[in-house]
Structure 1
Amino acid sequence: MGPAHTRPRERRAVFASRTITDWDPEDTAAWEAGGSAIARRNLIWSVVAEHVGFSVWTLWSVMVLFMPSDVYGISAGDKFLIGAVATLTGSLLRFPYTLATSRFGGRNWTVFSAVVLTVPVTATIVLLANPGQPLWVYLLCAALAGFGGGNFASSMTNINAFYPQRLKGWALGLNAGGGNLGVPAVQLVGLLVIAWTGVGEPYWVCAVYLVLLAVAGLGAALFMDNLEGPGVDLSAMRSAITDRDTWLISLLYIGTFGSFIGFSFAFSQVLALNFLDRGDTAAQASLHAAQIAFIGPLLGSVARVYGGRLADRIGGSRVTLGVFAGMVGAAAVLLVGSSLEVQVVGFVALFVLSGMGNGSVYKIIPSVFDAKSRALPLDEDGRAAYSRAMSGAVIGIAGAVGGLGGVGINMVLRQSYLSSGSATVAVVVFAAFYLVAAAVTWRAYVGVPRAAADAPGAPQSAKLSS
């Protein structure tokens, strides 16, 4: 990070190519001399692009509110299915998106990933302007919108490389939290459009996001940088796939991020069904659901930042354990209380706790692989490169697997409503999973005594993560 930013001629060359060739965030002197400003600039535009990407990913959580069944021929079960398909695509794309920043550069890929999202947004305008299409057409359009979910993996992997170990929890939490805010943002835009134009004109929501995609792409092109050097590659991915901690962390992320993104798609529909049961018309139910639905994702997104910061202070595993214990309690509230008010409180609590857990689980990742690197016969630079590559790979894998939890949320809710007409069965399934996740967190990352974790031959997964 030194020479490329100290000699004027080289500084001009770096500006022209937007590529940094000698980045070392662990070099404290270089960090204080300007590295932190470079990292912050890239973080800001990464958040902007990821934020818009999340909005496009969850665009159909809003669009279904504009789709009365008697006009579009789409049932409540079909709407949960649309959400599941968008979630599935966004989750699976996180695998290739994790590799993309190393192959093409963080700046270059951020520009591309913003531009490509104009396709599903435009397609959504055309599709909703012509109701009566077969279900598969809506599913295809939702799948294309799922490309926005891949942005998370490339953004997180890129920012992970910019920041030193001591600040990763804060930086990754802020990056992810800012991205997650795209969920309540698109729902708020949808609420404003419903209030202004009524249920029949969803085009304004999509028009807003065409403009924001242009801003995100242009900002990334002008202000972000590519990093040249060790990063996530196929070798790191292969090593991560065979690592036990990768799959334990992925399981925990299913419970945290899977819950967040799954409920983000489903919450508005659950609310709309509850309002219909109370006697609202379809238009009234959509408006009332939109007035409440954004609150959960909003608080959950903000909570992610504080979950990462709290994990920096007391440990990612301890925060994660507390999160899953709280989620079991929130699920119990949903089971005990049947009124709409109690249901809203229970789901909002799940959003907040899952948001905190998103930040705390991602803090576990660099801690685990930093600890593992110290058992390898490498010099300090080699350990840093190993930790960065493995952390980036696991961020991508866990992000993809965790997103699949959102598919499960929507499919379980769909089946619960089809079989019993309520979400009760689904909530029981969710509570059981949170209990399992809490047990795994305790067994793998919290329950190992500090002395044992520091002893030679101790399980590496325990070190520095508790």
Structure 2
Amino acid sequence: MSGRWIEQWDPEDEEFWERTGQRTAHRNLFLSVLSEHIGFSIWSLWSVLVLFMGPEYGVDPAGKFFLISMATLVGAVARVPYTFAVARFGGRNWTVFSAGLLLVPTVAAYLVMEPGTSYTTFLLVAALTGVGGGNFASSMTNINAFFPLRRKGWALGLNAGGGNIGVPVVQLTGLLVIGTAGAGHPRILLGVYLPLIVLAATCAALRMDNLAPVKNDTGAAREAARDPHTWIMAFLYVGTFGSFIGYSFAFGLVLQTQFGRTPLQAASITFLGPLLGSLIRPVGGRLADLYGGARITLWNFAAMAAATGVVVVASVEKSLPVFLPGFIALFVLTGLGNGSTYKMIPGIFQNKALTRGMSGEAAAAYGRRLSGASMGLIGAVGALGGLAINLAFRQSFQTAGTGTSAFVAFLVFYAACFTLTWAVYLRRAAPVPAKTQLSYAKI
């Protein structure tokens, strides 16, 4: 696939950035958001389609949780190859291909979405939507290369937040379909997305760019995989993004199964949490730029644990008026944490370069090299957190009929994330040269 290639790219050079870099980076960011947005909508499609699946489909709540778990699993696994595809094929070229690929699961769902279809067929089609989850990894890797370190928190937060909004948008669209045509017409929802997919691929083809300096570095991938910070950040990202995507997929089913909401009642609420969590993500990145990603992440996990405590109480008491504010607060906090954790990644690796005696562009290049390589692994593991959440809900409802035990497990996990963030990044400053005035607390 041919495309537009930029041979020289140095966003850390302020003169270059002000003259041409900023305009080019912002154009690619906007179109990346569009493609990733549609990708998230398709990835989370089955969180909405299960609301259309009444008794005539013959699928119980545990089976529905497993359907959305299948989409989560494939999306998580797809993130690893998608990360390296940007350097292999070019950011613009891969965006065109990956956006067009979204037609496959959408058309497949359009063909099979009716009573009488076998559960195995539903599972296979749900798995296909996982390609939409891969779009996040390639998009974030691509945009990470366009922006200087001082702007990465804002840029990555905006890119991811704009993509994440694809979840509530598809849920709002589903609400509109259920509210107007009824729960018997899921194909209307699928028909809406077919031209949008074509639009995203076309815009990417016409206006995005490939960066020639961005190359796959197998040495960097191996080095990132061996670095403990990659896996520490993956663990923390399970707590933030894993929670966001897991809750986004499960919210409607929890409302239907535990609180007896109808498809229309569930759909009228489901979108709100993912919407707020998506909108707040750039704020998390910006706060991390200003005050340090580790500090924002630490207190965000404390707040997530507190909100989960409220949800546990509401679940035990079967109180929807208490459950909704607590659960929606959790969504907001996952969005903040998504922004702050992703901001930490490039800072951690540039900080490591400083401890090795590097400075200036050499340190920045090392940070870009290792952070780009680690993002795919971190994003994939984080998305697997969504799978764990959906499986935990499935088990909890299957054995006890409520989500209480799952929420208790999530609370314990957030406490572990809080402790790990403090112990690794805030307990003491990293041993860097005094002249750098940099510590992990400021990443």
> TM-score interval w.r.t. the shorter chain?
over 0.9
What's the counterpart of residue 300 of structure 1?
Answer: 277
What's the counterpart of residue 99 of structure 1?
Answer: 84
Instruction: Pick which of 227-236 and 423-432 moved more.
Output: 227-236
Tell me if structure 1 keeps the 8 A contact 2:294–2:441. no
What's the counterpart of residue 235 of structure 1?
Answer: 219
Partners of 1:406 and 1:379 in 2: how far apart? 38
Instruction: Pick which of 334-343 and 205-214 moved more.
Output: 334-343
Output one character per residue of 1:284-322: Cα deviation in whole Å (capped at 9) or x when no partner.
x10000000000000000111100010100000011011
- Structure 2 counterpart of 1:45, one-letter code: L
Summarize the alignment of residues 230-379 of structure 1 with structure 2, pairs less than 5 Å apart: 230-276=214-260, 285-337=262-314, 338=317, 339-376=319-356
Residue 82 of structure 2 is aligned to residue 75 of structure 1: no
Partners of 1:262 and 1:103 in 2: how far apart? 30
What's the counterpart of residue 48 of structure 2?
Answer: 62
What's the counterpart of residue 127 of structure 1?
Answer: 112
Tell me if structure 2 keeps the 8 A contact 1:56–1:148. yes
Tell me if structure 2 keeps the 8 A contact 1:307–1:355. yes
Summarize the alignment of residues 130-209 of structure 1 with structure 2, pairs less than 5 Å apart: 131-209=115-193
- Structure 1 counterpart of 2:354, one-letter code: R
Tell me if structure 2 keeps the 8 A contact 1:105–1:226. yes
What's the counterpart of residue 18 of structure 2?
Answer: 32
Output one character per residue of 1:90-113: Cα deviation in whole Å (capped at 9) or x when no partner.
001100000000000000000000
Output one character per residue of 1:99-143: Cα deviation in whole Å (capped at 9) or x when no partner.
0000000000000001111010000011113x2222221111111
Residue 403 of structure 2 is aligned to residue 423 of structure 1: yes
Among 26, 37, 48, the residue aligned to 1:51: 37
- Structure 1 counterpart of 2:41, one-letter code: S
Residue 421 of structure 2 is aligned to residue 441 of structure 1: yes
- Percent same amino acid among aligned pairs? 52
Tell me if structure 1 keeps the 8 A contact 2:106–2:194. yes
Among 363, 366, 370, the residue aligned to 1:383: 363
TM-score when normalising by structure 2: 0.96
Partners of 1:248 and 1:153 in 2: how far apart? 18
What's the counterpart of residue 374 of structure 2?
Answer: 394
Output one character per residue of 1:154-192: Cα deviation in whole Å (capped at 9) or x when no partner.
000000000001000000000000000000000000000
- Structure 2 counterpart of 1:64, one-letter code: V
What's the counterpart of residue 383 of structure 2?
Answer: 403
Tell me if structure 2 keeps the 8 A contact 1:371–1:464. no
Instruction: Pick which of 386-395 and 45-54 moved more.
Output: 386-395
TM-superposed deviation, 1:465: 4.0
Please state whether the residue corresponding to 2:355 is helix, strand or coil. Answer: coil
Tell me if structure 1 keeps the 8 A contact 2:3–2:93. no
TM-superposed deviation, 1:372: 1.2
- Structure 2 counterpart of 1:443, one-letter code: A
Aligned length: 437
Which segments of 5 or more consecutive residues in structure 2 lack a partner in the other structure?
none
TM-superposed deviation, 1:374: 2.1
Partners of 2:154 and 2:239 in 1: how far apart? 21
Among 88, 94, 118, the residue aligned to 2:73: 88
TM-score when normalising by structure 1: 0.91
Which segments of 5 or more consecutive residues in structure 1 lack a partner in the other structure?
1-15
Tell me if structure 2 keeps the 8 A contact 1:65–1:286. yes
Stretches of 4+ aligned residues off by more than 3 angstroms:
375-382, 452-456, 462-466
Partners of 1:380 and 1:346 in 2: how far apart? 45
Partners of 1:75 and 1:134 in 2: how far apart? 13
What's the counterpart of residue 203 of structure 2?
Answer: 219
